[in-house]
Amino acid sequence: MKFYIISTTAYSEENFTLCTDLTDSQIKKVIEPIILIERAYGDEYTNASLVDALRDAYPNNEIHASFGEETYLEL
């Protein structure tokens, strides 16, 4: 499993984190078209809807998302 920080806008506070066994290309294959449609036609999406699209496309994979501030633990 890998952690990905997904950034779809210029605003870092709108980023979200995925923990998944999907590959980079699988994630891009699903998310990129949604983003491009929004930019071209104004069809809005949410981070949750992007995660839902991944889960719909890959129902047998592990896909976990975090939409808030990440907590870092320094030991």
State the pLDDT at residue 14: 86
Q: From the DSSP assignment, how many helices (H) and strands (E) are in the chain?
A: 2, 3
Give tens-digit pLDDT for 6-31: 999 878 888 999 999 999 999 999 99
- Return d(Cα 31, Cα 43) in angstroms, integer: 13
pTM above the 0.75 mark?
yes
